[in-house]
């Protein structure tokens, strides 16, 4: 998660903004049967309006929805509620909101007609239960749903005893229905509620090869002195450095970041390292191959997850066994016998063999000890050799040690290998 560098600086940014909460409903979310992707989408959709989500709550179907909505009254100014608009008895979001606001549920003939047309177009028989989806609280504005049967609903803020209710947006649960509804309708309604305010942007620099504390030590003080919001998000081998503020201040921050962290900056647009590599190789019209032992094809997996990788990635060789290093890549069996499979000479031979076999401009190789067993005093668990053969001349090789679990080991090795290639490409 992002760690906020200074609560004081955070308050400078958000105190004048609308307090927005997200209420996700659905027992399936809490059982882990369905991945909740709504928060990420909504947060990214709202940010260009200068809006930030302050709280997110997930509750099961049923009476918990009524309780959770009531808790937002007097606290939030906008609440986005997802789910609970279906035709079954556990879908009670409409009913709960109407009851809390003291509004009658009315049958909307326009909505009913839209539901009937949808069933007719798909040549399906409509259940009587679907008529529930044509009900809406009186005074609610209907948000049309061309991708499903459940319309969204918007209820403006109103006095409620001694407090004021939030602006309530009731949204369908399926992402394919919710996302276009938010983009095409909800954002327009929210924009009308907002006062004019200075432009605020977010920029993210992706950093490789430095830990979170090292990044903060290098740039934290100077950046906070500019009066912006600063945050860090650490992953194995990488740190995302997030800055939020006015464009002018962010331009100043960008110069500081470039000066202090330049060689370690992978991207300024949140592109992952493998995407950066594919883009760089594509620009140069150059190609890549991989020879992997300890990573078991993970380098190739990450590269081929990038759209357009086929233009630059020629192939990968997973040579886990020593005999296959020899048969597939031409690594001298005597070299393995003399130095061991996990060694600098073998890593170099693997990279050079893969480059020659594939006819690639560059080739990366990995050979190491992922553990938990197999290490020695000379080569403890976590030891890895990474080599890069290419157009630059002599093959480059690095020895590293990542004593961690097997998946994190693969993550770190692949990132380190990609970073070795990125630096070579950007140095030319």
pLDDT, mean of residues 273-301: 98
**Could you give the percent of the chain with pLDDT greater than 70?**
95
Query: Of 293 and 193, which is predicted with more confidence?
Result: 293
Residue 242: asked if its preceding bond is cis (omega within 30°), the reply is no
Q: What pLDDT band is residue 270 in, cutting at 50, 70 and 90?
A: confident
Say whether both 179 and 69 belong to one domain. yes
Say whether both 83 and 119 belong to one domain. yes
- 418 alpha carbon, distance to own chain's centre: 20
Say whether both 80 and 152 belong to one domain. yes
Which of 113-122, 190-199, 388-397 is most confident? 388-397
Whether 6 is covered by a domain: the verdict is: no
Residue 204 pairs in a beta bridge with: 242, 269
Q: How far is CA 363 from CA 24, 48, 331, 366, 415, in A?
A: 46, 41, 14, 10, 15
Whether 407 is covered by a domain: the verdict is: yes
Say whether both 215 and 69 belong to one domain. no
Are the C-beta atoms of 50 and 194 separated by less than 8 Å?
yes
| CATH value at residue 262 | 3.30.70.2860
Please say which residue of 247, 267, 287 terminates a domain.
267
pLDDT, mean of residues 385-389: 98
Instruction: Please give the Cα distance from 408 to 428 (Å, whole number).
Output: 31
Whether 227 is covered by a domain: the verdict is: yes
Are the C-beta atoms of 368 and 385 separated by less than 8 Å?
yes
Beta strands in 68-180 (DSSP E): 78-82, 105-107, 135-137, 141-143, 152-155, 159-160, 163-164, 167-171
- Contacts (Cβ under 8 Å, ≥6 apart) of 250: 201, 203, 228, 243, 244
Please say which residue of 193, 221, 250 terminates a domain.
193
Note if the pTM is more than 0.85: no
Are the C-beta atoms of 203 and 250 separated by less than 8 Å?
yes
Q: How far is CA 221 from CA 216, 229, 245, 379, 395, in A?
A: 8, 12, 16, 40, 39
Please say which residue of 163, 193, 223 terminates a domain.
193
Whether 2 is covered by a domain: the verdict is: no
Say whether both 263 and 297 belong to one domain. no
Are the C-beta atoms of 75 and 116 separated by less than 8 Å?
no
Are the C-beta atoms of 242 and 201 separated by less than 8 Å?
no
Instruction: Please give the Cα distance from 247 to 231 (Å, whole number).
Output: 17
Q: What pLDDT band is residue 428 in, cutting at 50, 70 and 90?
A: low
Q: What pLDDT band is residue 257 in, cutting at 50, 70 and 90?
A: very high
Instruction: Please give the Cα distance from 11 to 47 (Å, whole number).
Output: 16
Give the pLDDT confidence of 85-140 residue by residue, as tens digits.
988 888 899 999 999 999 999 999 999 999 899 898 888 888 888 888 999 999 99
How many Cα atoms sit within 13 Å of 153 on the Cβ side? 27
pLDDT over threshold 60, residue 267: yes
Q: Which domain holds residue 311?
A: 273-427
Whether 381 is covered by a domain: the verdict is: yes
- Which tokens in the block code for residue 153? 């609903």
Q: How far is CA 236 from CA 207, 233, 390, in A?
A: 11, 10, 27
Give the pLDDT confidence of 356-386 residue by residue, as tens digits.
999 999 999 999 999 999 999 999 999 999 9
Mean pLDDT over the full length of the chain: 92
Say whether both 225 and 166 belong to one domain. no
| CATH value at residue 322 | 3.90.950.20
Per the structure, the count of domains in the chain is 3
pLDDT over threshold 60, residue 293: yes
The pLDDT of residue 17 is 63
Say whether both 175 and 293 belong to one domain. no
The pLDDT of residue 147 is 92
Say whether both 404 and 289 belong to one domain. yes
Say whether both 379 and 351 belong to one domain. yes
Whether 120 is covered by a domain: the verdict is: yes
- φ, ψ dihedrals at 68, nearest 5°: -65, -40
The pLDDT of residue 9 is 31
The single residue listed with the structure tokens 């020895």 is: 399
Of 119-123, 181-185, 255-259, 383-387, the least confident: 119-123
Q: Which of 269, 341, 278, 266 is nearest to 309 (CA)?
A: 278
Residue 239 pairs in a beta bridge with: 207, 234
Beta strands in 185-334 (DSSP E): 201-208, 229-235, 238-245, 265-267, 288-292, 313-318
pLDDT over threshold 60, residue 16: no
- 95 alpha carbon, distance to own chain's centre: 34
Number of DSSP helices (H) and strands (E) in the chain, helices first: 16, 20
Are the C-beta atoms of 51 and 79 separated by less than 8 Å?
no
Say whether both 72 and 114 belong to one domain. yes
- Contacts (Cβ under 8 Å, ≥6 apart) of 79: 20, 21, 22, 23, 69, 72, 166, 167, 168, 169
Whether 113 is covered by a domain: the verdict is: yes
Say whether both 26 and 136 belong to one domain. yes
Whether 5 is covered by a domain: the verdict is: no
Instruction: Please give the Cα distance from 289 to 350 (Å, whole number).
Output: 11
| CATH value at residue 172 | 3.40.980.10
Say whether both 304 and 384 belong to one domain. yes
Q: What pLDDT band is residue 7 in, cutting at 50, 70 and 90?
A: very low
Instruction: Please give the Cα distance from 194 to 200 (Å, whole number).
Output: 14
Compute the C-alpha angle 145/151/154, nearest 5°.
115
**Could you give the percent of the chain with pLDDT greater than 90?**
81
- Contacts (Cβ under 8 Å, ≥6 apart) of 129: 87, 88
């Amino acid at each position: 998660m992002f760690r906020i560098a200074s609560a004081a600086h955070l308050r400078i940014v958000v105190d004048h903004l609308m307090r927005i909460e997200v209420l996700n409903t659905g027992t399936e979310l809490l059982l882990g049967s369905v991945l909740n992707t709504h928060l990420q989408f909504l947060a990214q959709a709202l940010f260009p309006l200068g809006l930030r989500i302050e709280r997110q709550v997930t509750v099961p179907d049923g009476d918990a929805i009524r309780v959770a909505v009531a808790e937002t009254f007097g606290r939030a100014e906008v609440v986005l509620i997802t789910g609970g608009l279906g035709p079954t008895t556990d879908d009670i979001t409409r009913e709960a909101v109407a009851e809390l606001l003291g509004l009658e549920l009315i049958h909307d003939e326009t909505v009913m007609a839209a539901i009937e047309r949808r069933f007719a177009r798909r040549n399906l028989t409509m259940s009587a239960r679907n008529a529930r989806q044509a009900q809406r609280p009186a005074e609610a504005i209907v948000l049309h749903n061309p991708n499903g049967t459940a319309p969204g609903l918007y209820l403006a803020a109103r006095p409620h005893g001694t407090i004021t209710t939030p602006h309530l947006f009731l949204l369908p649960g399926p992402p394919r229905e919710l996302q276009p509804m938010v983009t095409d309708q909800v954002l327009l309604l929210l924009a009308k509620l907002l006062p004019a305010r200075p432009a605020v942007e977010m920029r993210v620099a992706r950093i490789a090869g430095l830990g979170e504390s090292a990044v903060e030590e290098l740039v934290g003080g100077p950046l906070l002195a500019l009066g912006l919001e600063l945050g860090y998000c650490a992953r194995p081998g990488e740190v995302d450095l997030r800055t939020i503020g006015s464009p002018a201040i962010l331009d100043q921050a960008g110069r500081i970041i470039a000066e202090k962290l330049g060689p370690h900056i992978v991207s300024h647009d949140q592109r992952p390292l493998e995407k950066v590599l594919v883009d760089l190789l594509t620009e140069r019209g150059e190609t890549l191959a991989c020879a992997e032992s300890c990573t078991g094809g993970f380098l190739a997996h990450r590269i081929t997850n990038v759209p357009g990788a086929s233009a630059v990635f020629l192939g990968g060789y997973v040579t886990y066994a020593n005999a296959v290093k020899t048969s597939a890549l031409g690594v001298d069996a005597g070299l393995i016998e003399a130095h061991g499979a996990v060694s600098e000479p073998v890593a170099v031979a693997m990279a050079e063999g893969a480059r020659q076999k594939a006819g690639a401009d560059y080739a990366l190789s990995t050979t190491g000890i992922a553990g938990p067993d197999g290490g020695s005093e000379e080569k403890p668990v976590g030891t890895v050799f990474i080599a890069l053969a290419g157009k630059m001349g002599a093959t480059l090789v690095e020895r590293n040690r990542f004593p961690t679990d097997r998946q994190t080991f693969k993550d770190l090795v692949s990132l380190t290998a990609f970073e070795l290639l990125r630096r070579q490409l950007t140095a030319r």
